[in-house]
Chain A
């Protein structure tokens, strides 16, 4: 007999917002993808936090992968955000990217 599968499928955990069923006024899903850099080189030892510009509340947080790349999936095109990258080494100031719209 083969072992049975009882897989837990992908869930979503937003800090604020109900984006799993709220797809915005355009009813269009979208994502944000980017990379964190330090002195021109991709840099992974950061925490990237996505904030909702309309409410200033955090939506989600990500640790970039080994290449410094990060992505926020399951958003919508009505959301205007700003992204803050914090240096976990605390050697550099946080960096901000403003007016990011998921595509």
Chain B
């Protein structure tokens, strides 16, 4: 009986893997290190590429954020700055004739400010008004200087860049040579203002005479 069992057991020796499996498995395992090395390289490469893409995306995102941030800054700065910036110009154009007409400065400024809601807060407080008045006087003086300077013909310009004194001298000469104006008391005051380097007053008086 044992022999019969052993015969049956030995039948199992006929169980064998296919030749193709034996060959292919052997080859694939022998190539394993090379395959793993390639996979490792690819993995490192993809990791690097991934991190590069990530860094690139981050930088793009950051630069986008920077652009957005810049826009936001400009937007808010614009909103905050708007009431201050145009207010000066409003004053300058309206204030100049008001000054000439002898209207009180602060009242005039408030009136101008009321034309725009955003300007009211700035205009009604004392400090900005005082500051704006000082600036306005400069602006006014510069305008007068430019207007009076532009009235001098090129052939009569004593210099390329005329000084305040040059401008005053030219107009004083013109006023004094005019029979109707040569006896104006303000000529003396203009001269005094010029000598005292109070060119603003001198310009004012010249403008007054010329605008009559």
Chains A and B bind each other: no
